[in-house]
Amino acid sequence: MKSLVAGVFVLVSAALAITASAQTGPATLRWALRLNETRGPIRAVDLSQPLGKEASSEILGGPTNGSDNAYLIYTRMPAGARGPALFTLPVEHYYVVVSGRMTVQIGTETFLAGPLTGVVIPPNTPHTVWNAGAEPEAHLEVIAPAPSRDLMSMLKPAQPRKVENAAKYIRSITVPAARDLKPGLNGAAFTNLSMGSPNTVRLDSTLPGGGGPPTHVHRFEQVYFMVEGTTTVLYGADKMKASKNDIVILAPGVVHTNVNESGAPERHITLLLPQNESGPADVEFEMKAPAPTR
């Protein structure tokens, strides 16, 4: 009997521990987060779990799984679902709607963001998002930099307050049609240094045969999130394909480039984390033949 009671106590204690870890941070803020356990520069969004009634967020990259400079999160919201209640972060928070429509409250005002609309939330600005529509919604969100390995400890509950010119944080871009694409990268920025952010968030589109500059390196972390089509990524000595809903995390100093080797246009969200304030962004690095053996 004593062993049975002890076993029950252990099971109850374990359940309580799991519940507590799921509620880390302010008691009024809840966020259903799970960690993508894939390793390597490319990892895919896990869409194997059916969407229920609540929002579901997957950390594709962060301080504990591949990104030193940001939390990279893919969130799906069924109709009527909400993200965390009104809150602030000490760093910038970016959203890019991938599909569906997302309602965002900034301070006391609300806005509707459709597909490939960006939202730029400055530090310490009250905000929250939800899906008021009848169709599911999905978005990529980026929290940068990432000063803590405990994401929930960064969220602080907030009260509505007037945010001056809140509408300017909703960023609509012109997505070029396939017939209007030019060789190379066709970029449209949601934000960057010249627009007041330390990080760059933009949409890049390429034609078949097009892509980035010759093999090069950065002093910063670069990320691609695939929105449409496929691209071939050269990463160091490796060559791999990235497809829709894949994220590619390029560490500082790694030789890389990307090229569209498919027969159709491709589009991806590009992040520079953070964008360098001086000097060239791309430093060309020539890939040569294998080193001779002695």
Cis status of the peptide bond prior to 274, with omega within 30 of 0: yes
What is the C-alpha to C-alpha distance for residues 184 and 273, in angstroms, rounded to an integer?
22
Using alpha carbons only, how large is the chain's radius of gyration in Å?
A: 21
pTM (predicted TM-score) = 0.88
Confidence of residue 4 (pLDDT cuts 50, 70, 90): very low
Q: What is the pLDDT of residues 168-186, one digit of tens each?
A: 999 999 999 999 999 999 9
Residue range 113-144, pLDDT digits in tens: 999 999 999 999 999 999 999 999 999 999 99
Distance CA 12, CA 198 (A): 46
Q: All domains of the chain, ordered by start, with CATH? A: 27-172 (2.60.120.10), 178-284 (2.60.120.10)
